[in-house]
Amino acid sequence: MTRESVNMMYRRDYLHKMASKHKDLVLWEEYKRQRNKVVHEINAQQKVYDNSEATTNKNNRNDMWKSLRHLSKPISLVIYQSN
């Protein structure tokens, strides 16, 4: 995760807090736009990571399958196993 995406998340959270507090429709719209930007950024970073994993291990069959199994696991299992 990049510093830019973390800053985007902080901004999203701040906008959500302000929109909830003030019940302002303009803030809600800005929050929704920021939320969608964050989701798009995370998905783009995930795609880059997945592609780099695939190209890094394309010559080593065992490592390639290991990374493919890791990438295809549900997120809850990956988080659980890393703790």
The residue range of the domain holding 26 is 3-82
Residue 53 pLDDT:
79
Query: What does pTM read for this prediction?
Result: 0.71
pLDDT at 54 over 90: no
Ramachandran assignment for 40, one of left (phi > 0), alpha (psi -120 to 50 degrees), beta (any other): alpha
As to burial, measured by CB atoms within 10 angstroms (0-12 exposed, 13-18 middle, 19+ buried), residue 12 is buried
75 compared with 46, residue with greater pLDDT: 46
pLDDT at 83 over 90: no
Q: Give the model's confidence band at 16: pLDDT under 50 very low, under 70 low, under 90 confident, else very high.
A: very high
Domain count, the chain: 1
